[in-house]
Amino acid sequence: MQTAGRNLTRTAGGGGGAGGANSNQVHYHVIPRYLEAREFDGVVFADAAGPPDLGATADLGSDTLAKLQQLIIDNWQAHKSNPSL
């Protein structure tokens, strides 16, 4: 794995991570993708084909945002107490 990390770092053109730190590591980021639109609190979240458009946003009112934050907190706490969820 260390060799793969060094090779990836060389291929990417450097070893500097955030703030110039050495980052000889392999990692990935996960962005959930869905075939169909999802809805939360009356707001529709569509997932277009292809790479995600990170500039596209949903207009969330303060009430919907508060509900979404609470849902994340509740699920995080549930997962911490039962990691198999």
Task: Show the tokens assigned to 15.
Answer: 């070893």
Shared domain for 25 and 51, answered yes or no, is no
Same domain, yes or no: 24 and 43: no
- Shared domain check, 85 and 48: yes
What pLDDT shows up at residue 58?
Answer: 80
Whether residue 13 is found in the same domain as residue 42 = no
Contacts of 39 (CB under 8 A, 6+ apart): 45
Residue 84's pLDDT is what?
79
pLDDT value for 49: 73
Whether residue 77 sits in one domain with residue 48? yes
Helix (H, G, I), strand (E, B) or coil at 44: strand
Strand, coil or helix: 14: coil
pLDDT at 30: 63
Structure-block tokens of residue 10: 């060389």
Mean pLDDT by groups of 10 residues along the chain of 85 residues: 50 50 65 81 82 78 93 88 79
Domain hosting 75: range is: 37-85
Q: What pLDDT does residue 5 have?
A: 47
Report residue 81 CA to chain centroid gap: 22
